[in-house]
Amino acid sequence: MSYRILPVVLALAMAGCSTLGDAFDSLNPFSSSAPKMAPLKAIAATAEVRSSWSANVGKAGEYTLSPAVVGNVVYVAAQDGTVAKLEEGRNVWQIKTAMQLSGGVGADGKMVVVGTRSGDVLAFSAVDGRTLWQAKVSSEVLAAPAVGEEGVAVRSGDNRIALLNLADGTRKWVYQRSTPALSIRSTAAPVFADRYLFAGFPGGKLVALALTNGAPIWEGTVAQPKGATEVDRAADVVAAPAVDGRQICAVAFQGRVACFDMGQGGSMVWSRDLSSASGLTLDGRYLFVTDDKGAVHALDRLTGSSLWKQAALFNRKVSAPAVKRGLVAVADGEGVVHFLSREDGSFVARKTTDGTPVRAAVQSIGAGFLVQTAGGSISKFEVQ
């Protein structure tokens, strides 16, 4: 997640929407003047986790460049325009575009798509990296495009959602909604699920869009903005929603985590107060979420009741979690990957990367986890 400061008075004077950055140190755990990272205490490893392969594609700079996982294949990108396909850590192909990349990678095994700071959307063949098409959206692309059977969904920095044609990148439709005077720069990709395209927005809303024309079908309230100032009222859904079966869940910064039933027209199943700018994930029984202080929570996905909380990573700029084989994995602002017990949240293993921050969510891949750092290191960790 990238934050940028704009004074409230200036933001309110502007006609457009401004992004909210490091102006609110007491609220923003990513601020340089926020409390220092909690030191890591030694742990007694009880699970065997090893690095099965690692590679380096190039630095992400100020952006969150998340990789795309398709089976055992990983597609990665760097700020300098590099895009690569890795298979078990082996470089299958690598290309260098002439543009700086600002959004992560979207892929479906046939097509690989990335976005640029100038709003360009670039599509390549997943087979050999050849250029397929180039399109344009309204502003910089901070989120990874989503590639589905219906098209390529792109979220631009002005919170517009565009659906582009798979064949040539022509625009099918664009969804736009009014946004607050201040909002947080979102790297949350839209999500295809249950005949809809889902996206979270400033103001705490989760919206289901019709794939045919982009019309909003239902809208779920994840959080209600509240407070005396625009900073206080910044309650934005800035992480991608998690979907499993009929259930879709989302979390808002300075807001709540909430789950909805897609089969019941988006009716809310439960919600509870919890602020996050990192994100969440689901498994068969639990919802796992990283809060804005760095604590990792396990909640009952049916009721929202708390099962455990791991708070030892205070202010370590902890990523969104991934879950696999009884372990929950998160990574932090020093490139350390932490493995927690799914059942009680205790630390069971720890691995280091290149020492640079991990901004992108940890992802599951095969029997393990995939981590990309801001320094460009790509690592797969396997649970033995």
Q: How far is it, in rounded angstroms, from Cα 277 to Cα 64?
A: 13
Please identify every stretch of the chain with a pLDDT value under 50, giving residue numbers as ranges.
Answer: 1-31
Is there a single domain that holds both residue 3 and residue 55? no
Q: Following CA atoms 41, 43, 48, 50 in sequence, which dihedral angle do they give, to the nearest 10 degrees?
A: 20
Provide the CATH number for the domain around residue 51: 2.130.10.10
Range of the domain at 23: 1-35
Three-state secondary structure call for residue 11: helix
Is there a single domain that holds both residue 335 and residue 359? yes
Tell me the per-residue pLDDT of 79-96, one tens digit each, with 9 for 90 and over. Answer: 999 999 999 999 999 999
Mind spelling out the 3-state secondary structure of 30-95? CCCCCCCCCCCCCCCCCCCEEEEEEEECCCCCCCCCCCEEECCEEEEECCCCEEEEEECCEEEEEE
Name the β-bridge partners of 161: 155, 175
34: number of Cβ within 10 Å: 17
Distance of CA 231 to the CA centre of its chain: 22
Is there a single domain that holds both residue 1 and residue 48? no
Is there a single domain that holds both residue 11 and residue 55? no
Q: Would you state the pLDDT for residue 102?
A: 96
pTM for this model (two decimals)? 0.90
CB under 8 A, 24+ apart: contacts of 313-318: 313/38, 313/338, 314/35, 314/37, 314/38, 315/29, 315/34, 315/35, 315/36, 315/37, 315/38, 316/37, 316/38, 317/29, 317/30, 317/37, 317/357, 318/278, 318/290, 318/294
Task: Give 245's contacts (C-beta < 8 A, 6+ positions apart).
Answer: none
Q: Would you state the pLDDT for residue 30?
A: 44
In a domain, 164, yes or no: no
In a domain, 255, yes or no: no
In a domain, 23, yes or no: yes
Q: Would you state the pLDDT for residue 185?
A: 81
Is there a single domain that holds both residue 296 and residue 340? yes
Phi and psi (nearest 5°) for 13?
-80, -20
In a domain, 129, yes or no: no
Tell the burial category of 217 from Cβ atoms under 10 Å away from its Cβ (0-12, 13-18, 19+): middle
β-pairing verdict for 322-324 and 306-310: unpaired
Is there a single domain that holds both residue 360 and residue 375? yes
| Alpha carbon separation from 78 to 16, 57, 251 (Å, rounded) | 30, 6, 28
Domain count, the chain: 2
Would residue 240 be called left, alpha or beta, if left means φ above 0 and alpha means ψ between -120 and 50 degrees?
A: beta
In a domain, 31, yes or no: yes
Q: Following CA atoms 277, 309, 205, 241 in sequence, which dihedral angle do they give, to the nearest 10 degrees?
A: 80
Is there a single domain that holds both residue 12 and residue 53? no
Q: Which H or E run includes 269?
A: strand 267-273
Structure tokens that stand for 310 in this block: 């791991």
In a domain, 207, yes or no: no
In a domain, 214, yes or no: no
Is there a single domain that holds both residue 349 and residue 309? yes
Q: Would you state the pLDDT for residue 384?
A: 81
Cβ(335)–Cβ(358) below 8 Å: yes
Tell me the one-letter amino acid at 259.
Answer: C
In a domain, 298, yes or no: yes
Is there a single domain that holds both residue 9 and residue 53? no
Is there a single domain that holds both residue 1 and residue 15? yes
Number of H helices, E strands in the chain: 1, 34
Q: Would you state the pLDDT for residue 7?
A: 30
